[in-house]
Amino acid sequence: MSEFKRIAPEQAQALRDKGAVVVDIRDPQSFAAGHISDSQHLDNYSLADFIAKADLDTPLIVTCYHGNSSQGAAAYLVGQGFSEVYSLDGGFELWRATYPQDTETSQPE
């Protein structure tokens, strides 16, 4: 895959079931207030470490607020060598509406 693909929450859920990694690029407070279960917060501070430790062949789903910012981040991650990258259409807001049972909160970073 030389470019990222946009996917709906249902497709993202199917990929999660198969082991895809979910990264959330929203601000730390928004991530703490609610995020996709088992997702990782990704920002400028954690990006290099994430890339260094990641399996570049594992499917990667990028989410943001509404599915706009994640497209740029997904394109960047493709450029960093990830072979299968997806941007979640509708972002966390649509995910939360579709899969409220698959969201969680955490302490702010």
Question: Which CATH number is 93's domain given?
Answer: 3.40.250.10
44 falls within a domain: yes
Residue 98's pLDDT band, with cuts at 50, 70 and 90, is very high
10 falls within a domain: yes
Residue 106's pLDDT band, with cuts at 50, 70 and 90, is confident
Residue 100 confidence (pLDDT) above 80: yes
Determine the structural domain holding residue 45 and report its residue range. 5-104
109 falls within a domain: no
Question: CA 30 to CA 77: how far, in whole Å?
Answer: 22
Instruction: State residue 49's pLDDT score.
Output: 97
Residue 104's pLDDT band, with cuts at 50, 70 and 90, is very high
Residue 64 is among the residues annotated as catalytic for this protein? yes
Out of 64, 78, 85, 88, pick the active-site residue: 64
Q: What is the pTM of this model?
A: 0.95
